Structure 1
Amino acid sequence: MYEPDAGPPTVSELYHAHRLALVRLAVMLVDDRATAEDVVQDAFTALYRRHGERVEEIDNALAYLRTAVVNAARSVLRRRRTARGYTPPHEPDAPSAEERVVLDEEHREVLAALGQLTVRRREVLVLRYWSDLTEAEIATTLGISRGSVKSIASRALDSLEKILEERA
């Protein structure tokens, strides 16, 4: 496990310390655990290829990883949209017993409502409320201004509230 006073972390230490949080972020964006794990693995692989095993500054490495996960999730979603254009949509499989335990009814409703938001609104909410990033970190990750983050988050919360009220 990475300790701040021990010098620059290794990619392996970052992986063990932050993999689960990044997988949760990716799951919220792509709505598929297996794909989310692939996205995160690819981000760590890219970090290793770019910097080697030793990472000089943890904040930059984490920002790089978050941005890589968000960008890869966008690519996954684009590929899905393209694939849907060529194949009929399929009904999702029933949740497994493990997923039922992990996600209670309220979480499933919120996840379903999140799926109805635009990609940008979903990204901002997931980064803010599930990954606990600041507006500045979200702006950096998504390549937008802090003001845009604020307005997108506000609109996204309004939309999410309306969607959830309609379901009730």
Structure 2
Amino acid sequence: MQYALPHAPLTSSRSPWWSRLFARVSRTGQAPARPRRPRAVPGPYDTVRHDEPPPNLTELYLARRLDMVRLALFLVDDLPTAEDVVQDAFAAVCRGYGTSLRGLQDPGAYLRTAVVNAARSVLRRRRTSRAYTPPHQGAGAPVDERLLLAEEHRQVLDAMRRLTQRQREVLVLRYWSELTEAQIADTLGLSRGTVKSTASRALDVLEKRLGEAAR
């Protein structure tokens, strides 16, 4: 069954997350400062208060679709596929909890995990359908085109495409979704120690690659 969900435009005034990541990775060759534990910034319906009725599927979709499409975009590298990933994630939520979402204690976290899992499925299909997958070259700059034109932003995004899947997921969830180590661990099914070490290695790789690009 296809679930008809309302459309929310891909616009936002939110500042680019990769500017925070770029600040962590010096182009001068100096080691980046290890990130402090980020402050969790819960979005609408990340949690449900006990004294309020739970959101329904349409309310959750309108509140979170934009962030979820952006999250998926940074994981799969192309906007049409990212939109499909989010649509599949919302459909999975609906299959599990219905349109009322009754019994779902943390809609935002559940949806975020569904998006990450759907993105992983897409990447697995890409790997199995082709023996070699060249770096994806999109038709144009996605979402915030005016923000992607800055050279340093392009360098960070290009370098991130060369990270492992786990490294990329951890950095996107940390700097885009602004999750804590514990939240990232819950989303990816990892230990907090693995999240911390993965982020550290990923930042080291980015530092090296951005340093090479600056020479």
TM-score band, normalised by shorter chain: 0.7 to 0.9
Change (3 A) 1:163 1:58: farther
Q: Structure 2 regions of 5+ residues with no counterpart?
A: 1-43
Q: Structure 1 regions of 5+ residues with no counterpart?
A: none
Matched, 1:164 2:210: yes
The secondary structure found in structure 1 opposite 2:131 is helix
Shift of 1:130: 0.8
Specify which of 171, 174, 184 is matched with residue 138 of structure 1. Answer: 184
Identity of aligned residues (%): 62
Shift of 1:97: 9.1
* One-letter identity of the residue aligned with 1:154: S
Q: Is the 8 A contact 1:26 1:69 kept in 2?
A: yes
Matched, 1:103 2:148: yes
Give the aligned partner of residue 127 of structure 1: 173
Q: Is the 8 A contact 1:25 1:126 kept in 2?
A: yes
Specify which of 98, 120, 125 is matched with residue 79 of structure 1. Answer: 125
The answer to which structure has the higher helix fraction is 1
Let me know the Cα RMSD of the aligned residues: 2.5
* One-letter identity of the residue aligned with 2:184: I
**Structure 1 segment 25-104 matched on structure 2, within 5 A:** 25-56=71-102, 60-85=106-131, 89=134, 92=137, 94-95=139-140, 100-104=145-149
- Please, what TM-score do these two structures have when normalized by structure 2? 0.69
Distance across 1 between alignment mates of 2:144 and 2:67? 17
- Larger mean Cα displacement after TM superposition, 49-58 or 135-144: 49-58
Distance across 1 between alignment mates of 2:100 and 2:196? 35
Shift of 1:133: 1.1
| Larger RCO: 1 or 2 (CA < 8 Å, sep 6+) | 2
